[in-house]
Structures are given as structure tokens and as C-alpha cells.
Amino acid sequence: MHPVDLVQLRTFIATAEEQNLTKAAERLHLSLSAASAHIKAVEQNLGVQLFNRINRSLELSPHGEVLLSRAKALLNDASTFSSYARSLSDRVCGRVAVSSIADPADSRIGAIAATVLKQHPLVKMTVHIRHAMGTTEGLKTGELDLGMTLGEAIDPALSYIHLTTFRYRVVGPITWRDRVEDAELASLAMAPWIAFTDKHLAYPKILERLFSGHEFENNVVARTDNHMLARAMAESGIGLTLLPEPRAFDSERAGLLCISRKAIAEYDFFVAYLRNRENDPLIGAVIGAIKKIWPTARPTRRLDTE
């Protein structure tokens, strides 16, 4: 039996979480053949079958289910070891992977990256786009060092810094102004809707909270996985959708969309990282830059102290 490569283990974990080898390869920025080779190597080295193919998805075998939690723990230990080693160095150096929400203007990730690289020239930074669940998974598997995410600070394994609270508005085609601007939530829920395909995105959760008790899902006429696409579809007259308030105001000023005065939602924006890496110089370097770019940043209360 040969030692199992940590990179191969990361591919195993991503495939188990995605239940699809192609999606796992895309997530890890690997070719499909490389990802497949990783899975085969782990299976051969351990002498077990990790997955069963069910229709178009891959489901964990009994052996795979047992090994998944151990694999995650192993990668977490490796990340902790690397953090400790970096803490012994006088200068901050190394590679850091950070996730951002889709709109770089909202996350300010460009200014954050520029600040990190200016202050710490030996640091190499990679930025990925991830939804909230993908960010949490990436932090725990070591794919990510820090993650900027929308939602709630609910995972006790993570430390969270609150950056701001975003506001979201329900918008519709400009020709629908009379039926949208002053409409009640129940009336808005009955209109044609452009909804979101991925339940792990923040937008479906915001809509669910906003329209709790109203069956707006019954009136979905189109779906997308990106709010910029939803904006373009709404501007083309297809239906209502949800947009960050600045984007909604931009389209209203351009005469392309109307905005509901009553359907307003708020969602918190955080940066998160593994709690056991709080003393990692790489984490500290990025957090220092984030605090310069986001002066409103403040740590949240530790979940185990509540």
C-alpha cells in the first residue's frame, strides 16, 4: 500500500460533496482526466471502492462514507500544521486562496488583493468565486484559506468577521411600474418570476425569507444561476427578480427596471476562516488588508460562548 497524496484526498472530498466528477474537477481547477486519476489512485492505494455510479451521479460506497470524515480531518490537520510552520517565520510568505461573491464591486476583492500584495510581496494570492456552502466546504478541506460569504455565522469550526449588511430589492420590467412599485408582497408573489437554479446561493434563501408564506415559486417562468443574468432577463421584460440595491438603482436610473417600495431584504456579509488558524500569518495578512478596505469590519461572537 502506498501513502495517499493529500491532493488526491482533496479530489475525493470534492467529488463526494459534488456527487459529480466533472463538477469536482471544475471546482479544483483540474482536468477531468486528472480528477479521475486521483480517484483511481486513492482506490488502488487503499484497496477499496469509494463511489457507486447511480444514474448520472456518484454516490459514496459504504467504504467511502466511512473514509470521508477521516479524509476531511486529515486535510484539516495538514492545514493546521502548515499554519503553525508559517508562524515560526519572521516574514509572511506563501500561497493564500480566498473566495469572493460573484460581484467584485460588492466584495471589494480587487482592493483587498492589491493591499495584501503591496504589504506582503512574498505572498501569492488566488481568488475564486464560491457560493456560501462551497465556501464553507472549501475552508474545511483546505481548498480555501479565507472565504467572503453571504448568510449567517453558524459554523462553530469557523471564525467570522462581519463586514457589512447588504440590502436587496425586488425589481421588474420598467413597463410593470404600476403593478410593482406599491404592490403588497402577496401580489408580487403572484407575478411571473425569474428565480435561481442553485439552492446553495444566497438569493434563493433571501427570497424564501422575504416571501415566507407566499407561494411565489409557483409562478417561476425562468431560472438562472447568476444575478447579472437575472437582471438582464428582467430588463427584457420576462419577470420579477431580486437584485442588490446598488444594481437595482443603476437599472432604475437607466430607465430599464422599476423597484418595489415594499419588498426589501437584508443579508449579512462576512469573511470566514478556520478557527484553528487564527494565528496563521497568512490569515492575519489578509484580515489586515480586509480591515483597511472594510473599516466597518468587526468580529462576531464565538458560537461556543453564546
Query: All 3 cell numbers of residue 185?
Result: 408582497
Round to whole Å and give the CA distance between 304 and 38.
37
Q: Residue 305: its pLDDT value, please?
A: 47
pLDDT of residue 211: 86
Taking only the tens place, the pLDDT of each residue in 105-118 is: 999 999 999 999 99
In this structure, what C-alpha cell is assigned to residue 118?
503591496
Distance, in Å, from the CA atom of 284 to the CA atom of 234, rounded to the nearest integer, reads 41
The residues pairing with 98 across neighbouring beta strands, listed in sequence order, are 127, 146
Encoded amino acid at 117, one letter: L
Residue carrying C-alpha cell 467570522: 160
- What are the structural domains of the chain? 6-79 (1.10.10.10), 81-157+274-305 (3.40.190.10), 165-268 (3.40.190.10)
- pLDDT over 80 (residue 245): yes
What cell was used for 95? 500561497
More reliable by pLDDT, 274 or 203:
274
